[in-house]
Amino acid sequence: MHAPIPLLRHLFPAAVAWLALAASASVTRGADADAFFAGDHISRIEIRLAEGAADRLRDDPRSYVPCTLTIDADAVLEDVAIKLKGSAGSFQGLDDKPGFTVNIDRFRPGARFHGLDKFHLNNAAQDPSFLAEWLGAHLFLEAGVPAARVTHARVLLDDRDLGLYVFKEAIDRDFLQRHFDDSSGNLYDGGTGVDVDELVERDEGKNGVPGADLKALVAACRVADPAQRQAAISDRLDIDAFVTFMAVELMAGHWDGSTIGHNNYRIYVDPANGGRIRFLPHGMDQIFGDPGAPILDRPPTIVAAAVMGVPEWRGAYRDRLRELLPLFAAEGAILPRLDSVAERIRPAVAETGGEALEAWEGAWGELRDRIVSREAHLREQAEAPEPEPIQFDGARRAGLAGWSPRTDAGEATLEETAGDDGRSVLRIAVVGETPSIASWRVAVPLPAGRYRFEGLAFGEGIEGTEDDTGSGAGLRISGGKRIQAVDRAGEWTPLGYEFALEAAATVELVAELRATSGQVSFNAESLVLVRLSEP
């Protein structure tokens, strides 16, 4: 004879919670998750780390440790796996406001939370509005591009109230099952600043040699003959889906995504579509940052540049821009939905204090203003003529203009001013005590060939940070790595960075500072591009 449920709940409350969740997941997994993300409720998630787990996360933040979750003071989920997450701009240690990846079934196979086996709790370190990730997911899904669903949660860690978080489902096998007819394909994580030619490790799937399907796409993008290149890419890439993916990324100003920054993306190799590749969006916490961000420049990344280089697909892309304009209508489409979500999270922000509420309201208002401004820029650009290629003089040199400032980490001031000799200077100065990454950038459409980006820089008191991309102040292209640098030189120093293009592409030139202190001035008139050779 079975014990009645009330008795079980009294004796084994955690077990009953798990049984209830597992039973619900096995029957209504999809509906449960849909209702959770569509609902107005802000869940309260209490995380209690197992004994010794906090020290393990401090020593190794990316390794899973066990914890117990209490959801809305009701369901208690034990033996849940958790680790810290975040990249250079968003990662915070355990004793600050860390981001989390939560894996419900890692230690208990088959377990689910509202139909999810894995989800992320993002700390919104780069999005004080807490709304950008939700908005990005909404835009992609409305455009027909698979994207992770987003909601919000209040998070406590070992009785420490961490405040509001962005709750986001993971892109994993469950996600693939919802969006694709066949979920057995290879799934790749785009990582941080890595283009498709460097991806090997798979998150899901065991089809073929790891990375071989991506290398085949890269090889297709580099076929010399235009007609053969177009045919080869068509065999490896879902062109219609990729054109839409590019259009939404660029229209949303997702500078930190795949199309421009070879960053924050996933790739799925779809067996049901002849093994053609689909790009999936990720990490959209900084969209709509620049209302005037270009949508017609040829991107610097391998696949996007190759697709934009085919006249037929370039035309399809421009058609898609016009078709998607209603989706980006501020007053008619975006703001009513966004304001509804904002009002839902307002009480949760207010509970963290008046100062936090004031800061959030300011960030929300700024985001609304950028969305309104973005619509006007999009309508203007969508009807603009094709960009003119850069012009080289008889010495094979081309001047550069139209520099835009950008700060990727820490705090920095960027200003265009006049130097002592009256010439234009692009200046970057570190502000505060945290390491800063800041730059001046310009995107330039170029034909295939070898090039040298060069100019003069003056460093003052620079304490450079060390990473794979470079140290101190220097020149490079987006996605490139440099050795040259200016530290405490105290004099104008010539810099140069050489690169080669196997096919026409838009390249983003970068004059940057990576440092904990100091400043650099770039002589704007000396910054030129030299064409060293043709293919």
How does pLDDT run across 157-204, given as a tens digit for each residue?
Answer: 999 999 999 999 999 999 999 999 999 999 999 877 789 998 999 999
Taking a C-beta distance cutoff of 8 angstroms, is the pair 217, 196 a contact?
yes
Judgement on whether residues 503 and 411 belong to the same structural domain of the protein:
yes
Residue 215: inside a domain = yes
Conformation bin of residue 64: beta by default, left when phi > 0, alpha when psi is -120 to 50: beta
Among 143, 263, 297, 278, which Cα is nearest to 192's? 263
Q: What is the CATH number of the domain that holds 470?
A: 2.60.120.260
Q: Which distant-in-sequence residues (6+ apart) come within 8 Å of 78 by Cβ?
A: 14, 18, 68
Assigned token pair, 149 = 């669903």
| Regions of the chain short of the pLDDT cut 50 | 1-29
CB burial of residue 92 (10 Å; 0-12, 13-18, 19+) = middle
Judgement on whether residues 160 and 291 belong to the same structural domain of the protein:
no
Cα 252 to chain center, whole Å?
12
Residue 164: inside a domain = yes
SS3 306: helix
Judgement on whether residues 80 and 146 belong to the same structural domain of the protein:
yes
Task: Domain of residue 106: give its range.
Answer: 5-169
Residue 313: inside a domain = yes
The pLDDT assigned to 432 comes to 81
Judgement on whether residues 147 and 60 belong to the same structural domain of the protein:
yes
Judgement on whether residues 145 and 188 belong to the same structural domain of the protein:
no
Residue 159: inside a domain = yes
Judgement on whether residues 118 and 222 belong to the same structural domain of the protein:
no
Residue 131: inside a domain = yes
Residue 413: inside a domain = yes
Residue 348: inside a domain = no
Which residue is associated with the tokens 């498709």? 196
Give me the number of domains the chain comprises.
3
Judgement on whether residues 20 and 159 belong to the same structural domain of the protein:
yes
Assigned token pair, 300 = 């610097």
Judgement on whether residues 197 and 144 belong to the same structural domain of the protein:
no
Give the H/E segment covering residue 33: helix 13-38
Judgement on whether residues 160 and 194 belong to the same structural domain of the protein:
no
The pLDDT assigned to 487 comes to 63
Residue 406: inside a domain = yes
The pLDDT assigned to 30 comes to 58
